[in-house]
Amino acid sequence: MEIPLGRYRRAPGSDTDLVSIDPAETGPFPPNGEGRKAARKLLKRQRDRLEALQRLLYADGSQALLAVFQAMDAGGKDGTIRRVMTGMNPQGVRVTSFKAPTEEELAHDFLWRINRALPRKGMIGVFNRSHYEDVLVVRVKGLVPEPIWRRRYDQIDAFERRLVETGTAVAKFYLHISKEEQRERLQARLDDPEKHWKFDPADLKERSRWNDYLAAYQDAMARCNSEFAPWYVVPANHKWYRNVVIAQVLIDTLEGMGLNYPDPDFDPAAVCIDG
């Protein structure tokens, strides 16, 4: 089953009108139980492939992969990371969640904490929120003066170009949910005592700025998008579709990196193990 990744990958230089992209889309799968079942089966196969590719990335040892996840509150970042990364060797993956900056982080430039979390060669780095918060929440809430956040688009672009040129592939995901879907997910957090910890009353304030966030996301995608570090808008109302889209992007990205198992510097056929 072919997932139309070309449709979700933002073309460099193009504008993204998020309102015109259907968050409930399910691509080649019917939007029902049948589709969900088929997608879950596919995800199992994708995980096997990802595990093999991760092993290859590690053995190759000359490049890294950075996957950036951004979304509105309750957009599914945690669930995506849990579902898609399951099966990978934990030694080869490092997940970093970026919260409101600490005093020490604020005392440095905005990319300082990001640089420190970058994956080593051979590793997959996963960012749960990222440097993009510095042109999203920071812009929407006016946490720094406009001329400062405006300059960050070029700074982010240059930073990502440097990453790619030095051997770290970058894939950026915006998990696209509808405002109604967010309402349902936030309500579910209120209804289930085991989910209360996930509910943050401050999220309602952010929700009231939905359109400001959309505008900020659209600008980030227009200004910081390139062949070398593309943005993907992932329809994310249906978690099962979201998962297979993201898994496929990661597979395609890893397959495109030209990874190889290194040649041994000895002749394995000539080695004789005693006993």
Where do contacts with ligand AMP occur on this chain (CB under 6 A)?
98-101, 129, 133-134, 137-138, 143
Q: Which is nearer to ligand AMP, 27 or 75 (CB)?
A: 75
CB of residue 31 to ligand AMP, shortest distance in Å: 28
CB of residue 147 to ligand AMP, shortest distance in Å: 17
Q: Which is nearer to ligand AMP, 137 or 164 (CB)?
A: 137
Dihedral (CA of 66, 254, 160, 243) sign: negative
CB of residue 41 to ligand AMP, shortest distance in Å: 31
Report how far residue 57's alpha carbon sits from residue 51's, in angstroms, rounded to the nearest whole number.
10
CB 27 within 8 A of CB 241: yes
Report how far residue 261's alpha carbon sits from residue 275's, in angstroms, rounded to the nearest whole number.
29
Q: Which is nearer to ligand AMP, 39 or 68 (CB)?
A: 68
CB of residue 183 to ligand AMP, shortest distance in Å: 17
Report how far residue 199's alpha carbon sits from residue 188's, in angstroms, rounded to the nearest whole number.
9
Token pair for residue 247?
């898994």
Angle, to 10 degrees, between the axis of helix 239-255 and the axis of helix 77-85?
Answer: 60
Residues in the chain: 275
Q: How far lies 165's CA from each of 63, 91, 160, 169, in Å?
A: 10, 25, 9, 9
Does 200 contact Mg ion by CB under 5 A?
yes
CB of residue 133 to ligand AMP, shortest distance in Å: 3
Interactions with Mg ion, residue window 68-87 (CB under 5 A): 73
Q: Which is nearer to Mg ion, 55 or 198 (CB)?
A: 198
Q: Which does 95 bind (CB under 5 to 8 A by kind): Mg ion, ligand AMP, none?
A: none
Angle (CA) 5 11 13, round 5°: 170
Q: Is 201 exposed, middle or buried (0-12, 13-18, 19+ CB in 10 A)?
A: exposed
Paired strand residues for 172: 68, 231
CB of residue 116 to ligand AMP, shortest distance in Å: 14
Q: Which does 31 bind (CB under 5 to 8 A by kind): Mg ion, ligand AMP, none?
A: none
Q: Which is nearer to ligand AMP, 29 or 110 (CB)?
A: 110
CB of residue 112 to ligand AMP, shortest distance in Å: 11
Q: Which is nearer to Mg ion, 16 or 128 (CB)?
A: 128
Q: Which is nearer to ligand AMP, 87 or 101 (CB)?
A: 101
Q: How many residues bind Mg ion (CB under 5 A)?
A: 2
Q: Which does 99 bind (CB under 5 to 8 A by kind): ligand AMP, Mg ion, none?
A: ligand AMP
Q: Which does 138 bind (CB under 5 to 8 A by kind): Mg ion, ligand AMP, none?
A: ligand AMP
Helix (H, G, I), strand (E, B) or coil at 201: coil
Shortest Cβ contact with ligand AMP: which residue?
133
Q: Is 185 exposed, middle or buried (0-12, 13-18, 19+ CB in 10 A)?
A: buried
Q: Which residues bind Mg ion (CB under 5 A)?
A: 73, 200
